[in-house]
Amino acid sequence: VIEEHREGIIIGSACEAGELMQSIVRGATKEELLEVASFYDYLEIQPHTNNMFLVRKGLMPDEQALIDMNKTVIELGEALNKPVCATCDVH
C-alpha cells in the first residue's frame, strides 16, 4: 500500500518497533540491513536509554549493544547516503 501511494511522502525507519531496528535486534546480516534500510528516505536513531527495556527483556545483551545499534544505523545511512535523524520516539 505504501509503495502505491509513496509519491510526496517522506518515510523514516521508525523506532525500535520498526523493521530496521527489529532486523538489527534479530541479528540480520549487513546485506539484509542495507536492503531494509534502502526502502526509507531517512533513518532514525533514539537515545540508547530509550531502548533499555530491550536489555531488561533479554533481547539485547547490554547497554553497549544499544549504543552499537545506533552506530549501525549511522553506518547504514553513510553507506546508502541517507540522512540519519536523532529523535525521541515521539508519537
Residues β-bridged to residue 74: none
Q: What is the pTM of this model?
A: 0.92
Report the amino acid identity of residue 18. Answer: G
Q: Which is higher by pLDDT, 6 or 29?
A: 29
pLDDT at 58: 96
Q: Would you say 37 and 82 are in contact if contact means Cβ atoms under 8 Å apart?
A: yes
**Closest of 57, 84, 58 to residue 70, by C-alpha:** 84
pLDDT in tens, 19-78: 999 999 999 999 999 999 999 999 999 999 999 999 999 999 999 999 999 999 999 999
